[in-house]
Chains A and B, each alone.
Chain A
Amino acid sequence: SSHVKAMGKDECKTMLDALNKVTACYRHLVIALGSTSDSQNLREELKRTRKKAQELAVANRTKLTSLLKDKSISKDDRAEYERLWVLFSSSMELLEVDMKRSLEIGQDFPLKVPTRHLIQTGMTGSTTTVAARAMSVQNMKYEADSNIDTADLRDLQCEISQVSQMMEEMEMKVQVAPWAVEAKQEAGAELKSNMSVGNSSVGVISICEEEPKEEDGGGNRDAGFASICAVLVFFVIVTVAVVLGYLVINMS
């Protein structure tokens, strides 16, 4: 039974990771609402992502409540399940808030009304890759009706009340003191993660973090450097071409 319990714990963690991933993606999608990144596709992505989130939520809740109800578990196990429960309920809180906000923004920014403009935020690309990540698929296929921006809002309202109800039930039925849970991660744990290294992201930051003086100077410096490189490369290629041409002519 300890083997079964270990499997149960791992299953739980996997499901929690999945819920966490979908919650994060959903947040990214909601942030794009109302901006120039908004589109019919985004609305469909939002709908499908949140439905997936809700499925995962129910699955997680069922699993965790059954684990927590078991009176025969050891104290360590119980502490671990309570930690997982806090992870789960925190995810749900984020999800609930984002769902409510997506309703509000969705209502304020209908897509079909020509006098209501989307906010020019500078974001123009699509969010399809984010949604694909949430749904764990390679590519998203879009099949919704063209009135999804208004039709979906009614579904969304129902789902919000369902989620709120679920969270109230959770709080009533499961007696876990969240403040008693001790996190496993220390401060700065994310600094040790190997996610940060990546030239492209470093390039992105430097653009964001530059101060006005540095940005101009940096830009000029980089542009100058790049152009010198380009010129050098150009000359090298020309020299090589001339040499080869000369050799070819001499050969023939």
Chain B
Amino acid sequence: MTIRNTLRDHGQRYRPRMACLKKVEKLLLEMQDPKTGVKSQPQRLVITTIPHAITGEDIIAWLADRFQVDTQEARNFVSMLVALGYIYPLQDHRRLVIKPDASLYRFQTPYFWPTQQWPVEDTDYAIYLAKRNIRKRGILELHEQEHYNRLHKWMNHKWDFVVMQAKEQYRAAKERKKPDRVVFECQERAYWVVHRPPPGTVSAMDYGLDRLTDPNADEVTGESLCDLLVKYCSTYKSHDPFLSNCLPSNPWLTDDATYWSLNMPSVEIPTKMRVERWTFSFAELLSDPRGRDDFRLFLKKEFSGENLAFWEGCEDLKWGEAATMREKAEHIYKTFLARGAPRWINIDGKTMEVTVKGLKHPHRYVLDPAQTHIYMLMKKDSYGRYQKSPVFKDTVKKAICPEEHRYSDAQLQQNAKKRRPSLSPIILRQMEQEQRAKMAANVDITQVMSKLSKQGKEAHVFSSGRDQKQS
């Protein structure tokens, strides 16, 4: 059972290819016309005769005549039809190519037509492989055997169904007369050659990643998607190490890891490029740990560091382990949200109500409304001031712009020999956690003291205001 929601109907009908497939289907109908369509002949097999076989040269000739094109172009077109699975070869079934001779082909039944409306289901493939197993042992090819094993592993909960359905479909197929049975087996086999191609071949139906939404459906007002994309590209172009030189040099190319060491998460002096990125958007600033450090410093001077601390606490809750969730939520409540909390944050009454209610049964996303509120507050208010602040200006001045490395070939070879693995992510994470603990210990004293002193000075104004908010 798959999760049923609107995402399930992920028919890829928005792909431009759908329009082409519709046209092909119309063309196929024309080919069926007994008078003007493609000539068909019976296929003689050992024990039976099956009608409606067409030769490669006949289809190509018909198409060349229909569209008034030369044979080569018609041949290209028909090879596309075969690759997509509208027509399948009767001999050499694994190679979906059109042979411009007397090789025989047949039309595929509409149920097996390639159409992106109906995603090709692994369940059906599993049933198909099981059916072939039933028919004859050891008939599965190597890649099919591998698919089978893989499907058995991850589709294990459905496996009883797969086997049951395979048996029933096999029995149902036996009810038909022999020629029809042969045709059905060939049809099904052809369908799966298209959609689960043998190794070394590519399925013509490959379309990359699934699209989950209709790109033509929602109208983007104001700036069109195009404009946004252009803006993004022009902003980030010089920062993309793929598209432009990264200073001092790209470690992957020169085996010199200076770039990485200069851009460590908690480096003392950041690079100019990095600092420039912090001005692109607030999200950029927050996502860079060094940027956050700088911002934190600024907020400390402004005595509004609790906002950032709260935001970080929420992130920790969202992405942290489930076991510690409850404690974290409680700690955050006691530190930031409760009445008289040491680092009380300023959020509106309604959000506070919703949050406090949700904290009775805390889960990962219980602090989302409050976090969003604080995020927007910081973005609209503090971020602008930060960019004009002496803290930031100082950082910009101190930021380094390393010289570009110019290595000769011999030096590059030397570098390659000196390659060493970088710090393990486990160690990096430990360092991160130590630093965080240090910071938490630090802050508790200094911030709280400054807050209390502030409270003392403005107790009169503040307390009345706060009482109003909390009631």
Contact = CB atoms under 8 A, between A and B. Distances in A.
Contacts of B33: 117
Given A34-B110, A117-B37, A209-B139, 8 more contacts: A20-B165, A21-B168, A23-B168, A87-B161, A121-B183, A183-B156, A207-B182, A211-B92
Contacts of A83: 160
B157 A182 contact: yes
Interface stretch (B169-177, B395-403, B432-440): B169-177
Interface stretch (B129-137, B247-255, B298-306): B129-137
Interface string A159-178: 00000000110010000101
B123 A121 contact: no
B172 A187 contact: no
Interface of B: 1-2, 4, 25, 28-29, 32-34, 37, 40, 43, 45-47, 50-53, 91-92, 106-112, 117-118, 121, 123, 130, 133-137, 139, 148-149, 152, 156-161, 163-187, 189
Contact of B182 (A24, A196, A204): A204
A28 B134 CA distance: 17
14 contacts: A20-B168, A24-B165, A30-B111, A34-B111, A86-B1, A91-B165, A94-B123, A94-B165, A120-B106, A121-B109, A122-B106, A171-B1, A176-B1, A185-B159
A204 B178 contact: yes
Contact of A119 (B47, B110, B152): B110
Contact of A204 (B25, B29, B117, B185): B185
A188 B149 CA distance: 9
Contacts of B179: 122-125
Given A35-B109, A121-B183, A122-B52, A190 B176 contact: no
Nearest to A16: B164
Contacts of B176: 28, 125, 127, 129-130
Nearest to B121: A97
A86, A184, A222: most-surrounded residue (chain B CB, <10 A): A86
Contacts of B1: 86, 89-90, 93, 171, 176, 178
A122 B165 contact: no
A66 to B, nearest CB: 19
Contacts of A87: 160-161, 164
A137 interface: no
A37 interface: yes
A52 interface: no
Given A117-B37, A190-B133, A183 B174 contact: no
Contacts of A217: none
Counting chain B CB atoms within 10 Å of each CB, the highest count among A30, A93, A182, A190 belongs to A190
Interface in A173-214: 176, 178-185, 187-191, 193, 195-196, 200-205, 207-209, 211-212
Contact of A123 (B25, B37, B183): B183
B26 to A, nearest CB: 10
Closest 9 CB pairs of A and B: A24-B168, A34-B110, A183-B159, A117-B32, A120-B52, A212-B91, A129-B175, A90-B161, A181-B157
B133 A108 contact: no
A24 B172 contact: yes
Contact of B172 (A28, A34, A179, A205): A28
Contacts of B169: 24, 27-28
Nearest to B138: A191
A208 B182 contact: yes
Contacts of A196: 134-137
A187 B165 contact: no
Interface string A17-45: 10011011101101111111100000000
Contacts of A118: 32
A53 to B, nearest CB: 12
A180 B1 CA distance: 11
Nearest to A222: B46
A121 B106 contact: yes
B173 A28 contact: yes
Interface in A24-81: 24-25, 27-28, 30-37
Contacts of A201: 135, 174
Given A30-B111, A191-B133, A212-B92, A101 B118 contact: yes
A201 B45 CA distance: 15
Nearest to B160: A183
